Amino acid sequence: MGFVLGPVLAVLGCAVLVVLVREWTRYRRGEHVISGRQMAVRAATGALLVGLLGMVAVGVRIGFQTFDAAMAYWGVAMSLAALAIASAIWDLGQVRRWARRRRAESYGRLSGHIRQLERSRPSEQAGGK
């Protein structure tokens, strides 16, 4: 199983790095709407994922001498996974807050345009007498 899992995890790690580099280049060119803090969180999450993939790839090949050593190793791996999940959830929350703010601004501009159109219409077209 370790012979198959290693290359699969290596390909997955390379895919994570490619996506991270693509996100970074989009951010640097100004095509991305995220902040610098969000990009740093995404880079840290990507690094965590690559580190976790490396730990799993190495961990399936190691013959642990004691049960305690195996539990410590896989405990660190699980901690990295939990940290990666938490940072991804935090990033998702940031994106949702940004989208909510942007939608509110759009609705505010739209309602201003509608009010301006209502004021500029003649009163008989607006339903008045």
pLDDT tens, 30-52?
877 777 888 888 888 888 988 89
* Average model confidence (pLDDT) across the chain: 84
Give one word for 66, left, alpha or beta, with left for phi > 0 and alpha for psi -120 to 50.
Answer: beta
How many whole angstroms separate alpha carbon 29 and alpha carbon 91? Answer: 20
How many whole angstroms separate alpha carbon 64 and alpha carbon 60? Answer: 10
Amino acid 78: pLDDT: 93
Return the domain boundaries, the chain.
2-120
Average pLDDT over residues 71-78: 93
pTM of the model: 0.68
pLDDT tens, 75-90?
999 999 999 999 989 9
Q: Which residues of 86-123 are buried (b: 16+ CB within 10 A; e: fewer)?
A: ebeeebeebeeeeeeeeeeeeeeeeeeeeeeeeeeeee
Amino acid 71: pLDDT: 93
pLDDT tens, 8-37?
877 888 888 888 888 888 888 887 777 788
Q: Are 1 and 60 in contact (CB under 8 A)?
A: yes
